[in-house]
């Protein structure tokens, strides 16, 4: 007599066990996937926030290049707080004319005797609560970093060599060799005859086409010639010289009374004392022409 075996009782627990195992594996996999998606999305938003904050710094660097004394974002209003004047908020628009977020600026003016402006920029992507903050100290270039710096036009003859950066707030005729950057604040200018001019308008930095030796004007490299660039504020020098003169007066008992007079900056020490009307000398590697 044959016997029929019923194996249902053995298959069901195994099937249920397999389903549970596969379910746990699927749940674990989904958890990892969603976790990675969250991390990637968060990192992307964090990087976007950082890029927007950095764009805010670049914007205010551009702003200061056009108005070195404006610490209120062109508004003329603002309260000076811990981080400076602000907040000033701007939309950040991408190349497709879409808003990617916004940056909020705080501008701290330089302290007395300094040219360092501290700019704090807080970037925030659109549809996100995540923010990143970038803070930068922006300072005017030191006068000592130039070999020659002038508020008037310059002319370097073909027998002269400019070793180091050269800048003019007007223009530069560079017939000689230059080893560093040569810059001018003007796109074009009309130099006088005493400075190599011929009555015509010339680029901010140029050379005479008739000059062929020791540097050929037509073939020389002009990659280091920059114009127009921001002009240099020589009023800062005048203010510094005045402060130095008042300090010198106040330091000597015989002239201390002159330091507080309204004419202190135009006064000289009495005869027999070291002169204070002499212009303060720049480092030997630099020369300023005002």
Segment holding 198, helix H or strand E: none
Q: How many helices (H) and strands (E) does the chain have?
A: 2, 17
DSSP letter string, 227-269: -S-PPP-THHHHHHHHHHHHHHHHHSTTTGGGGGSTTGGG--P
Query: What is the total residue count of the chain?
Result: 290
Residues 6+ apart with CB under 8 A from 143: 149, 232, 237, 282, 286, 288
User: Scanning the structure block, which residue is given the tokens 């803070």?
Assistant: 135
Q: With 0-12 CB in 10 A as exposed, 13-18 as middle and 19+ as buried, what is 123?
A: buried
Cα 252 to Cα 68: distance, rounded to the nearest angstrom = 35
Q: With 0-12 CB in 10 A as exposed, 13-18 as middle and 19+ as buried, what is 48?
A: buried
Asked if residue 102 lies in contact with residue 95, where contact means CB atoms within 8 angstroms, the answer is no
Q: Give bridge partners of residue 288 from the DSSP assignment.
A: 149
Distances (CA, A) of 233 to 169, 214, 225: 9, 34, 20
Cα 142 to Cα 140: distance, rounded to the nearest angstrom = 6
Token representation of residue 111: 């302290």
Distances (CA, A) of 20 to 29, 30, 178: 14, 15, 79
Cα 137 to Cα 128: distance, rounded to the nearest angstrom = 28
Nearest C-alpha neighbor of 174 from the set 160, 190, 193: 160
What is the pLDDT, as a whole number, of residue 278? 38
What is the pLDDT, as a whole number, of residue 231? 85
Task: Give the pLDDT of the chain (290 residues) as one tens digit per residue.
Answer: 555 555 555 677 777 777 887 777 877 777 777 777 766 777 888 899 999 999 999 999 989 877 888 999 999 888 899 999 999 999 999 888 899 999 999 999 988 767 789 999 999 999 888 999 999 998 877 777 899 999 899 999 999 999 999 999 999 999 999 999 999 999 999 999 999 999 999 999 999 999 999 999 999 999 999 999 888 877 766 556 677 778 888 888 888 888 888 887 776 655 444 443 433 333 333 344 43
Nearest C-alpha neighbor of 56 from the set 15, 11, 91, 24: 91
Asked if residue 249 lies in contact with residue 269, where contact means CB atoms within 8 angstroms, the answer is yes
State how beta strands 177-178 and 287-289 pair.
unpaired
């Amino acid at each position: 007599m044959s016997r029929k075996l019923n194996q249902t009782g053995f298959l069901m627990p195994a099937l249920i066990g397999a389903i549970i195992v596969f379910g746990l594996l699927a749940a674990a996999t989904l958890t990892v996937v969603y976790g990675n998606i969250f991390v990637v999305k968060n990192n992307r938003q964090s990087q976007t926030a950082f890029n927007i904050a950095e764009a805010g710094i670049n914007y205010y660097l551009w702003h200061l290049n056009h108005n070195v004394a404006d610490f209120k974002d062109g508004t003329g209003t603002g309260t000076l707080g811990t981080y400076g004047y602000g907040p000033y908020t701007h939309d950040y628009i991408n190349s497709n004319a879409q808003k990617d977020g916004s940056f909020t600026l705080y501008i701290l003016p330089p302290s007395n005797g300094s040219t360092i402006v501290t700019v704090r920029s807080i970037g925030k992507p659109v549809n996100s609560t995540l923010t990143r903050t970038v803070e930068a100290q922006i300072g005017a270039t030191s006068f000592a970093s130039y070999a020659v710096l002038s508020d008037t036009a310059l002319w370097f003859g073909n027998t002269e060599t400019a070793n180091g950066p050269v800048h003019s707030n007007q223009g530069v005729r560079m017939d000689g060799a230059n080893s560093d950057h040569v810059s001018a604040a003007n796109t074009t200018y009309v130099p006088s005859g005493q400075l190599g001019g011929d009555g015509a308008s010339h680029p901010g930095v140029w050379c005479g086409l008739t000059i062929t030796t020791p540097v050929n004007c037509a073939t020389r490299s002009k990659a280091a010639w920059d114009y127009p660039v921001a002009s240099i504020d020589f009023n800062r020098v005048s203010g510094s010289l005045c402060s130095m003169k008042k300090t010198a007066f106040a330091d000597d008992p015989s002239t201390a009374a002159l330091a507080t007079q309204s004419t202190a900056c135009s006064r000289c020490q009495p005869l027999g004392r070291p002169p204070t009307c002499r212009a303060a000398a720049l480092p030997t590697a630099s020369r300023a022409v005002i």
